[in-house]
Amino acid sequence: MSAVQAPVTAQELQTLSTKAIDAKATAYCPYSKFRVGACILTASGEFVHGANVENAAYPVGTCAERVAFGTAIVAGHKEFRAIAVATDITPGASPCGMCRQFMREFTTASFPVYMYDGEGKYTVKTMGELLPDSFGPDDLPK
């Protein structure tokens, strides 16, 4: 069971958004040319970034959110406070269905997802809003 996480401070959000926006520059997206950067704030106060990584076999490509969460998990992080996702469009893109389920594994319904557009403006929704009535780890028999 995840602990209740502290709300993100204005300073943390500033850092989170800067790192997500900067991470767009690391995207490997020669096919779509659609850059996505992401950054997660961990419960221990670290920032872990990711970007989309595409593939010549198109469906094999991976979204920025899953790169960021996978990186954080293998680095040993278990609890998370927020994610920022940055794209170049307006309004900012919201995570795809596969990423919503992927993030659901490691977050609670109140986990905030900040979505930044190409001008640095954001909207925010919780995981519960993005993926209501979700299936998660607690639904599997122990």
Cβ distance to ligand THU smaller for residue 65 or 107: 65
User: If you write DSSP's letter for every residue of 41-74 in order, what string do you get?
Assistant: EETTS-EEEEE-B--SSGGG-B-HHHHHHHHHHH
Distance CA 125, CA 114 (A): 7
Strand partners, 122: 116
Site for ligand THU in 31-70 (CB under 6 A): 32, 34, 36, 52, 54, 61, 63-65
Which part of the chain contacts ligand THU (CB under 6 A), choosing from 9-17, 27-35, 71-79, 121-129? 27-35
In the complex, which residues of this chain contact ligand THU (CB under 6 A)?
29, 32, 34, 36, 52, 54, 61, 63-65, 85, 93, 95-96, 99
